[in-house]
Every structure is written in structure tokens, then in C-alpha cells.
């Protein structure tokens, strides 16, 4: 990391006597303690993966620094200083939630600190936290634009009448700002053991508890995320008041007490949450709300919440999900469309929504251990999520379309990557999310360990007091061979569950929205200490029970080949079209490789070859073949399209 700007901020603040260094304390908080299945968090997983490690490093070494530079340029830090009265001026920026970019950068930097301790970075984070503290009001209130001038929002769509706190809650984003503050502060506390950021969050949360609830201001957040944030504060402090407020904010949706007007389907406020069974409205709001509902289902063992999230999930995955895992089809309202309404050229698929979907699916998995949630996570990770970041780490997709005509534009730029956005939620969400990916690989329950993603890594997992070490070596997703070495420190049997991905079980996604055109059951192979063993796949997993007291070497071979995918006929947009995949990776066809892209027609019997090319786009699998009308066709992984200029692109090609 370059830290150039970090250092200049630190110098300025040190000179002003601003920086307060915070002491560390030991912390062993488990943020998901109430779930039956627990993730093996990033403190215990080191990755050395040839696919993900360069992406994580790109975020650590380029994107964080770049985003801090942009935030500085756009006055995100100044707003805290202006709010605190140590700098003069009006609010800067364009959005009422600009503060959250700073929180999300800190959260991502903290996740990266856990895997790669860095004292300088910690000191620099202390300086950012000091800046944030400057903008907090004495009673804990923290939304800088409102403190600077409550009558003058940075965006004209925040309607102000009296110019005071908590006005226009549907759009003021005061709860959203608080939610990201809590999420980031929780991770900072876990990463550093310091309370400086956590104390800011708790002071703000205490104000929320004092202000909102039965007999106080009775309302719900306009943009959800405070719910999961409050629950993290509850898990750290064990103070029930934070959990109760989170539950109140969820229970209160669709319940218009005291004449509160509804925020409508846009903000999932049209019905009580436990009666909702279709994913509607703003997709990011929806993901964060469902994640909060899943927390409530886990903590309270609440069956009504549990049933509602299952129905919502089935609706999303069976009827409203793109092949890339993208969700939220419509630009209008950044929202889900009707069932099966999945346009390609105008697909919105906000990067933040894909990230939110992974957060939600991860919680669903922790609740009941079903493989289907990881099938969604994997498809999203390798396709419609990581597409949000360019190969240089300094350009971004906000919408992730499945087709480009090289012209189409919307306010956040659909047909090419952008260097930044007035609404910069997506770049900073990438920063927040990517360094935490190692925490998605392994999970455990009782004497059982799940290996859900194939990512080169080493994990030390405490299983009832025995340490199980698992190492993975693999070129996944470029080929399907995974070498594993497993060893336990004790003698008690431990069951290791290896996930067989949906694509290797002949299932594109759970449900029947997409299917492979061939019905081939491709053989999965497993070698134990070099001997092939018979296998049986149960509910998507291979189960191996051993005492592992001597090191065991496994070789799992997941059979990858180029496969054609067809969408359900109900998806009008994809009728008469085919897409191509290899393992978990969806291909895109760009004009730069396919000059006659509009003429390509492919047949069911076309022959496709896939080869690794280390020189193109940082090293990718390239798909090649002949179309039915004899044009040579070249595909690249969808996630890395638009790294070679503007041009046409398709995921779905017409069938001959
Ligand atoms: Zn976003």
C-alpha cells in the first residue's frame, strides 16, 4: 500500500494534536455465535490462492489507497472536520451517505490487517478514526451533512421541511450511516482489539436506543443495514438493547403505527417482513434486510422469520437471478423486476447487491448447512460480483450488465467501467468485502468441518479442542483438481464435508431457471493417499470421517468441460439463446475478440475448447470454437470483460 495520502493526513492531524492512540485489548468475540454452523474466520485461514490472492492484494495495495485518495478529493474526510467545527465550509459531496465510504474503507483495511498485520496501516486507521470522532456530536449523533447544516442536504431528493434531525427518514440515510459505522467498528475491534472506533459506534447506538422504539419515535430505517450492525454490537457487548432495537426495526416494517407513512415496496415496507414472500424493491436494501432477518431467525430460533427468508430466497434464486449471480434487474429504483424479467443490455445488477447476496447466503448456510446457498455464493463470487473491479483495481462497474452495445449509458455507466461515481457505494463495498473472502471457505459444527470453496489456503480449525489443519492447493477455477492435506492433533474422529459444486452435480443454480443442454453426469473422482476410492455424494457433499491423526492426502477431481446453458422459456429475453460455462465461470464474448459478434449463431453440437492463457487479462481460461455459421468464436470469463476498452459484449448468444 502506498499510504501517500494517509501519511499526509496523519502529519496534519498529528501537528494539530488530534491523534489519540488507542490501547489494544484481547478479543475473541464470535460475531456469528448464535448460528448452529460457524465460519472459520479469517484469523485462522491464510490463503495462497493463484486466483483470489492477487485480487485481495489488488484491493489492499491499490484500491484502498485509490479510494482514500478519491474520498479526500471529494471532501469525505473534510465533512467530518467541518461537522466538528475544526474546518470551515459547507457540506461536500453529493450523497447523504458519503460518510459510509470512509467506514467501509476502514472495514476493508481491518479485514486485510487480520491476514497481514501492518503497524503503519493501523496508525493511519487511528488517524481516520480520529477524524470521524471529530464529526460526532456530544450526544452521539453522527451524520455529517445534517450536523453541518440540517436544512441543506447534499442531494435534492432528500426533502427538507424544518431542517432537523431524523427528518425525511426514507431518504436521509441516517440509519444507513449508523449501520455501516457499526459494521466497520465491529470489524476494527476484532482486528485490532482497540476500542476507539467501537466507542464511537456505541455512543451512536445508545442515542438510537434512546430515540427510537415503542413510545419514542416509532419508525423503521429507510435503507436497511443498521439491523445487522446493531446485532454485531450486541454480540460484542452482550447488551440486549441493541438486539432489541434491531428486532424492532425489522418487526416494524409494514406496520404503520402512529400514522407513519409507508416507504413502500421500494424499501420492503409494504408488508410485515414475515409475510413477505417475493423479493421486491431496491435490491441492496433487500439483501441487508434479509441478512438481518436471518440473524433474528438464528438468535431467537424464530420459525416465522425462518420460513419467510426461505420463501424470499426461493423467489430470488428460482425467478429473479441472472446466470452470473447478479440480482436487481432494473435501473429504475435499483430494484428487482417482475418474476423472470431479466433483461441483458439494461441489467442493473448492482455490485453492492451481489455482495449483499453473498452476506445473506452465507448466513442462510450457517443456519441449516444446505449446499444450495454455496452454489449461489460461488456463482456470484466468480462472476457477477468480482466483475465490479477492474484488473488494475482502480475502475469499477456499478451495474453489471450481461450485454453491451458499446453505447448504452445510464447515470452510473453501464457499458464500461468508471473510475469513480458520485454515489460510490460499490467501490467501497468491494474494499469492505474482498479481504474477508478467506472467511467464506471453511465452516464447522460439532465434530464436522465443511470445505465449501476451493481456494488455495491453509486453515487451523479448532474442533472440540483438537486442531485440524487443512491445506488446499489448486488452480480452481481454471481446472477442477484440488489437492488437500488434512491432519488432526488428536485422535477423535472428525467428519470433513467436501462440497461438490452445483455445476459438477449438473445443476446451474438451484431451481429450474437455467439448465445445461446436455444431461451428462460428469464423474467426480476422489483419491485418498493416491488410491481412488468409491464415492457417494449426499446432499451435495462428499463426507469423510477419519481420525486424521496421520496426515491424509486427498485429490479431488471435479470434471470441468465447456457446457452450454439454456434459460427457462419463461425468461423472454434469453429465448433462443445459449450461454457457455466452464466450471463455475460464465463466459462473455467481446467485440474485441469477435469482430462479427452480431452475426454469431451457435449450435448445440458446436465443439468448444478451453485453454489457459497466462498472457491475457492477468491469466484466464480462453474458450474457443466455431459458430454454426463458421465464425470463429472466442470467450473470456465474464468477470474480466471491459478491461480492453469499450465495445460490444454478449453472454447469451443466439442459437442457430
Ligand atoms: Zn453500490
The pLDDT value recorded for residue 419 is: 85
The pLDDT value recorded for residue 411 is: 56
The CA distance from 424 to 443, in Å, is 32
* Contact between residue 649 and residue 636 where contact means Cβ atoms under 8 Å apart: no
Q: 429: CA distance to ligand 1 center in Å?
A: 7
The CA distance from 423 to 416, in Å, is 16
Q: 354: CA distance to ligand 1 center in Å?
A: 9
B/e letters for 420-443, b = 16+ CB within 10 Å, e = fewer, are: bbebbbbbbbbbbbbbbbbbbbbb
Query: In whole numbers, what is the pLDDT of the chain averaged over residues?
Result: 93
Closest CA to 281 of 230, 220, 250, 327: 327
pLDDT bracket for residue 1 (50, 70, 90): very low
Q: 621: CA distance to ligand 1 center in Å?
A: 28
Q: At what angle do helices 99-115 and 174-192 cross, to 10 degrees?
A: 20
Q: 356: CA distance to ligand 1 center in Å?
A: 10
Q: In sequence order, which residues have a C-beta less than 8 Å from that of residue 136 and are 6 or more positions away?
A: 84, 142, 200, 203, 204
Q: 355: CA distance to ligand 1 center in Å?
A: 9
Q: Which residues pair with 466 in a beta bridge?
A: 463
Q: 424: CA distance to ligand 1 center in Å?
A: 7
pLDDT bracket for residue 255 (50, 70, 90): confident
Can you give the pTM of this predicted structure? Answer: 0.96
> Length of the chain, please?
656
Say yes or no to pLDDT of 550 above 70. yes
Closest CA to 24 of 117, 135, 115, 159: 117
Q: 605: CA distance to ligand 1 center in Å?
A: 40
Measured on CA atoms in the order 189, 194, 197, 203, is the torsion positive or negative? positive
Say yes or no to pLDDT of 290 above 70. yes
Can you read off the three cell numbers belonging to residue 197?
Answer: 472506533
The pLDDT value recorded for residue 27 is: 66
The CA distance from 323 to 509, in Å, is 8
Q: Tens of pLDDT along 78-103? A: 999 999 999 999 999 999 999 999 99
Q: 8: CA distance to ligand 1 center in Å?
A: 28
The pLDDT value recorded for residue 178 is: 98
Phi-psi region of 253 (alpha: psi -120 to 50; beta: other; left: phi over 0): beta
Task: Tell me the CA distances in angstroms from 172 to 153, 155, 208, 323, one per residue in order.
Answer: 8, 10, 15, 34
E-assigned strands of 1-111? Answer: 38-39, 45-47
Q: 15: CA distance to ligand 1 center in Å?
A: 36
User: Which ranges in 116-173 belong to alpha helices (H)?
Assistant: 119-134, 144-148, 169-172
The CA distance from 353 to 385, in Å, is 9
Residue 144 in 3-state DSSP? helix
Measured on CA atoms in the order 135, 137, 138, 140, is the torsion positive or negative? negative
Q: 49: CA distance to ligand 1 center in Å?
A: 27
Closest CA to 145 of 117, 164, 126, 170: 164
Query: How many CA atoms within 13 Å lie on the side-chain side of 517?
Result: 19
The CA distance from 396 to 350, in Å, is 11
When pLDDT is averaged across residues 166-186 and rounded to a whole number, the result is 95
When pLDDT is averaged across residues 135-158 and rounded to a whole number, the result is 96
The CA distance from 647 to 404, in Å, is 7
Q: 620: CA distance to ligand 1 center in Å?
A: 26
Number of helices followed by number of strands (H, E) in the chain: 17, 23
Tell me yes or no: is domain 442-499+523-557 CATH 1.10.10: no
Q: Which residues pair with 554 in a beta bridge?
A: 484, 528
Distance of CA 514 to the CA centre of its chain: 23
Can you read off the three cell numbers belonging to residue 204?
Answer: 451512536
Q: Tens of pLDDT along 459-476? A: 999 999 999 999 999 999
Residue 4 vs residue 57, higher pLDDT: 57
Q: Tens of pLDDT along 559-610? A: 999 999 999 999 999 999 999 999 999 999 999 999 999 999 999 988 999 9
When pLDDT is averaged across residues 266-292 and rounded to a whole number, the result is 97
First to last CA, the chain: 50
Q: 414: CA distance to ligand 1 center in Å?
A: 13
Q: Tens of pLDDT along 11-23? A: 445 444 455 556 6
Which residue in the block uniquely carries the three cell numbers 450536523? 147
Say yes or no to pLDDT of 270 above 50. yes
DSSP string, 358-424: HHHHHHHHHHH--HHHHHHHHHIIIIIIGGGB-TTSS-B-SS--SEEES----TT-SSS-BS--SS-
Q: 292: CA distance to ligand 1 center in Å?
A: 18
Q: 346: CA distance to ligand 1 center in Å?
A: 16
Can you read off the three cell numbers belonging to residue 36?
Answer: 448452529
Q: 553: CA distance to ligand 1 center in Å?
A: 42
Can you read off the three cell numbers belonging to residue 208?
Answer: 438510537
Q: 425: CA distance to ligand 1 center in Å?
A: 4
DSSP string, 541-557: EEEEEE---S-EEEEEE
pLDDT bracket for residue 531 (50, 70, 90): very high
* Contact between residue 600 and residue 589 where contact means Cβ atoms under 8 Å apart: yes
Q: 426: CA distance to ligand 1 center in Å?
A: 3
Say yes or no to pLDDT of 272 above 60. yes
Residues above pLDDT 70, as percent of the chain: 95
Q: 202: CA distance to ligand 1 center in Å?
A: 26
The pLDDT value recorded for residue 431 is: 96
When pLDDT is averaged across residues 31-39 and rounded to a whole number, the result is 94
> Domain locations in the chain?
1-30+74-255, 442-499+523-557, 562-654
Can you read off the three cell numbers belonging to residue 514?
Answer: 437455467
When pLDDT is averaged across residues 116-135 and rounded to a whole number, the result is 90
Least trusted range by pLDDT, from 246-260, 329-343, 487-501, 558-572:
246-260
Q: 444: CA distance to ligand 1 center in Å?
A: 31
The pLDDT value recorded for residue 19 is: 52
The CA distance from 190 to 328, in Å, is 32
When pLDDT is averaged across residues 224-236 and rounded to a whole number, the result is 98
Q: 352: CA distance to ligand 1 center in Å?
A: 4
Task: Tell me the CA distances in angstroms from 405 to 322, 346, 576, 579, 650, one per residue in order.
Answer: 19, 10, 19, 17, 9
The CA distance from 578 to 564, in Å, is 6
Q: 34: CA distance to ligand 1 center in Å?
A: 29
When pLDDT is averaged across residues 50-65 and rounded to a whole number, the result is 93
Q: 365: CA distance to ligand 1 center in Å?
A: 24
Q: 422: CA distance to ligand 1 center in Å?
A: 11
Say yes or no to pLDDT of 367 above 70. yes
Q: 24: CA distance to ligand 1 center in Å?
A: 33
Which residue in the block uniquely carries the three cell numbers 479485514? 111
Q: Peptide bond before 477: cis, by omega within 30 degrees of 0?
A: yes
Task: Tell me the CA distances in angstroms from 247 to 227, 243, 250, 301, one per residue in order.
Answer: 7, 6, 5, 13
The CA distance from 499 to 540, in Å, is 6
Burial (0-12, 13-18, 19+ Cβ within 10 Å), 26: exposed
Amino acid at each position: 500500500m502506498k499510504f501517500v495520502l494517509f501519511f499526509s493526513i496523519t502529519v496534519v492531524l498529528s501537528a494539530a494534536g488530534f491523534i489519540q492512540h488507542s490501547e489494544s485489548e484481547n478479543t475473541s468475540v464470535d460475531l456469528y455465535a448464535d448460528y448452529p454452523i460457524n465460519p472459520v474466520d479469517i484469523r485462522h485461514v491464510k490463503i495462497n490462492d493463484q486466483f483470489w490472492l492477487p485480487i485481495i492484494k489488488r484491493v489492499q495495495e491499490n484500491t484502498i489507497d485509490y479510494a482514500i485518495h478519491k474520498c479526500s478529493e471529494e471532501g469525505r474526510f473534510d465533512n467530518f472536520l467541518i461537522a466538528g467545527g475544526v474546518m470551515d465550509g459547507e457540506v461536500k459531496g453529493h450523497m447523504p451517505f458519503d460518510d459510509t465510504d470512509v467506514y467501509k474503507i476502514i472495514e476493508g483495511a481491518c479485514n486485510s490487517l487480520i491476514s497481514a498485520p501492518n503497524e503503519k496501516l493501523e496508525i493511519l486507521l487511528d488517524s481516520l478514526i480520529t477524524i470521524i470522532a471529530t464529526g460526532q456530536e456530544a450526544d452521539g449523533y453522527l451524520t455529517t451533512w445534517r450536523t453541518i447544516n440540517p436544512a441543506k442536504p447534499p442531494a435534492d431528493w432528500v426533502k427538507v421541511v424544518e431542517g432537523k434531525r431524523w427528518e425525511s427518514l426514507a431518504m436521509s440515510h441516517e440509519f444507513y450511516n449508523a449501520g455501516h459505522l457499526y459494521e466497520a467498528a465491529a470489524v476494527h475491534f476484532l482486528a485490532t482489539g482497540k476500542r476507539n472506533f467501537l466507542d464511537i459506534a456505541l455512543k451512536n447506538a445508545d442515542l438510537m436506543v434512546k430515540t427510537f422504539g415503542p413510545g419514542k419515535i416509532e419508525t423503521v430505517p429507510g435503507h436497511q443495514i443498521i439491523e445487522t450492525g446493531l446485532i454485531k454490537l450486541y454480540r460484542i457487548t452482550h447488551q440486549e438493547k441493541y438486539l432489541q432495537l434491531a428486532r424492532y426495526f425489522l418487526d416494524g416494517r409494514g406496520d404503520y403505527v402512529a400514522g407513519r407513512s409507508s416507504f413502500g415496496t421500494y424499501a420492503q415496507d409494504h408488508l410485515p417482513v414475515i409475510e413477505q414472500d417475493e423479493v421486491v424493491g431496491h435490491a441492496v436494501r433487500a439483501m441487508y434486510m434479509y441478512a438481518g432477518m436471518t440473524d433474528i431467525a438464528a438468535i431467537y430460533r424464530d420459525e416465522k422469520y425462518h420460513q419467510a427468508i426461505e420463501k424470499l430466497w426461493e423467489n430470488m434464486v428460482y425467478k429473479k437471478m441472472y446466470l452470473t449471480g447478479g440480482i436487481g434487474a432494473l435501473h429504475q429504483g435499483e430494484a428487482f423486476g417482475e418474476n423472470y424479467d431479466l433483461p441483458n443490455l439494461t441489467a442493473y445488477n448492482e455490485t453492492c447487491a451481489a455482495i449483499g447476496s453473498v452476506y445473506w447466503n452465507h448466513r442462510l448456510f450457517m443456519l441449516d448447512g444446505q449446499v444450495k446457498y454455496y452454489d449461489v455464493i460461488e456463482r456470484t463470487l466468480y462472476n457477477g460480483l468480482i466483475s465490479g473491479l477492474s484488473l488494475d483495481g482502480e475502475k469499477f462497474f456499478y451495474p453489471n450488465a450481461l450485454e453491451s452495445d458499446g453505447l448504452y449509458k445510464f447515470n452510473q455507466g453501464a457499458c464500461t467501467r468508471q473510475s469513480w461515481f458520485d454515489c460510490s457505494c460499490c467501490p467501497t463495498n468491494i474494499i469492505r468485502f474482498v479481504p474477508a473472502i478467506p472467511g467464506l471457505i471453511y465452516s464447522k459444527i460439532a465434530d464436522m468441518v465443511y470445505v465449501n470453496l476451493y481456494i488455495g489456503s491453509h486453515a487451523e480449525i479448532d474442533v472440540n479442542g483438537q486442531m485440524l489443519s487443512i491445506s488446499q492447493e489448486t488452480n480452481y477455477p481454471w481446472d477442477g483438481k484440488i489437492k488437500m492435506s488434512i491432519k488432526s492433533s488428536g485422535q477423535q474422529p472428525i467428519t470433513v464435508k467436501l462440497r461438490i459444486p452445483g455445476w459438477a452435480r449438473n445443476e446451474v443454480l438451484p431451481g429450474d431457471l437455467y439448465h445445461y443442454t446436455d444431461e451428462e453426469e460428469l464423474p467426480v473422482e476422489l483419491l485418498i493417499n493416491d488410491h481412488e476410492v468409491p464415492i457417494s455424494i449426499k446432499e451435495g457433499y462428499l463426507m469423510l470421517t477419519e481420525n486424521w491423526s496421520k496426515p491424509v492426502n486427498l485429490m479431488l477431481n471435479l470434471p470441468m468441460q465447456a457446457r452450454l446453458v439454456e434459460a427457462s422459456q419463461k425468461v423472454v429475453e434469453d429465448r433462443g439463446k445459449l450461454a457457455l460455462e466452464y466450471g463455475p465461470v460464465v463466459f462473455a464474448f467481446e467485440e474485441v475478440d469477435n469482430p462479427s459478434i452480431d452475426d454469431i449463431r451457435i449450435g448445440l453440437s458446436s465443439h468448444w475448447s478451453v485453454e489457459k492463457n497466462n498472457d491475457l487479462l492477468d491469466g484466464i481460461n480462453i474458450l474457443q470454437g466455431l459458430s454454426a455459421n463458421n465464425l470463429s468464436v472466442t470467450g473470456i470469463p465474464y468477470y474480466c470483460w471491459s478491461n480492453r476498452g469499450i465495445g460490444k459484449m454478449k453472454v447469451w448468444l443466439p442459437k442457430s
